[in-house]
Amino acid sequence: MIGTALIISLISNTEGLNVLIDNALSKIGVNNIFITPSGTVSIRSVQAGPKKSLKLMDTDVMLLGSLPGVRAASPFYLSKGTLIGSGLEQSVSIIGLDPTLTYLVLPDLEIYQGEDLSPNDMAMIAIGYDVAFPPGEAGKSIPLYSSVTLELTVEGKRVTRSFIVGAIYKKFGSTPYLDVDKSVMITIPEARSIFESTSYPSIVLVAESTNAVDTITGALNNIYGNDIEIISPLTIIKQVRIILNNFTIFLLVVSSIALVVAGVGIMNTMFMTVMERTKEIGVLRALGFSQKDVAKIFLTESTLIGVIGGLLGIVLGSFLSMSLGGMFSSFIPTMSGNPIIYRPNITSTVLVGSFSFAVVTGLLSGIYPALRAARLDPVQALRAE
- Mean pLDDT of all residues in 347-356: 88
Q: How confident is residue 42, by pLDDT bands cut at 50, 70 and 90?
A: very low
CA distance 343 to 16: 6
Provide the 8-state DSSP code for 120.
T
CA distance 3 to 359: 12
Asked whether the beta carbons of 195 and 75 are under 8 A apart, the reply is: no
3-state secondary structure of 61: helix
pTM over 0.85: no
Share of the chain above pLDDT 90, in %: 32
Residue with more model confidence, 82 or 239: 82
Q: Is the pLDDT of residue 81 over 90?
A: yes
- Closest by CA to 267, choosing from 352, 368, 120, 177, is 368
Provide the 8-state DSSP code for 200.
B
In this predicted structure, what is the pLDDT of residue 12? 85
CA distance 170 to 179: 13
Given its phi and psi angles, is residue 225 left (phi above 0), alpha (psi -120 to 50 degrees) or beta? left
Q: How confident is residue 380, by pLDDT bands cut at 50, 70 and 90?
A: confident
Q: How confident is residue 47, by pLDDT bands cut at 50, 70 and 90?
A: very low
Positive or negative CA dihedral for 80, 185, 335, 197? negative
- Mean pLDDT of all residues in 339-365: 83
